[in-house]
Amino acid sequence: MLNNKIPPVVVVVFFAAVMALIAHYTVIDFSAFITYLSLALVATGCIFCIAGVVSFRFAKTTVLPNKPEQASSLVTSGVYKFSRNPMYLGFAFILAGWGVWLGSMWAFLGVAGFIAYITLFQIIPEERALHKLFGEQFDDYKSRVKRWL
């Protein structure tokens, strides 16, 4: 037997009214939060991008994404222990920061579009080229480290 005498719809309306009163009397300015969050996302993206380039430079291999067949070594250290594509991940973070700054949930469709496009037309072809170059070594790396995060 239920002890509940108040219909759930009435409870929803009651709490909606309480929320409206609280919001009306306690307006919070989120502009500073939005600024800091977007800057944090962009900074995180830049760190991933720079770390990826630095790892490639230490390995003395090409950083050119349109010529993966010129890779002289398979980089699996540094930031590449956490993501197979830290530079693209960094770009996604930068776009997410831009989306937060723009203040539109719809803007995040751009992040999703970027991830889908870069996966289909850049990462998958790069992975094929790296498999041809490094074979089982690349397959082992691929099984240990996620494509994005």
Question: What is the tens place of the pLDDT at every residue in 47-87?
Answer: 999 999 999 999 999 898 888 888 999 999 999 999 999 99
Query: Mean pLDDT lowest for which of 6-10, 30-34, 38-42?
Result: 6-10
- Judged by DSSP in three states, 67 sits in coil
pTM across the whole model: 0.84
Distance of CA 22 to CAs 13, 17, 26, 28, 68, Å?
A: 14, 9, 6, 11, 56
CA–CA gap between residue 100 and residue 31 (Å, rounded):
11
User: How confident is the prediction for the chain on average, in pLDDT?
Assistant: 93
pLDDT computed for residue 9 by the predictor: 87
CA–CA gap between residue 93 and residue 38 (Å, rounded):
9
pLDDT computed for residue 29 by the predictor: 81
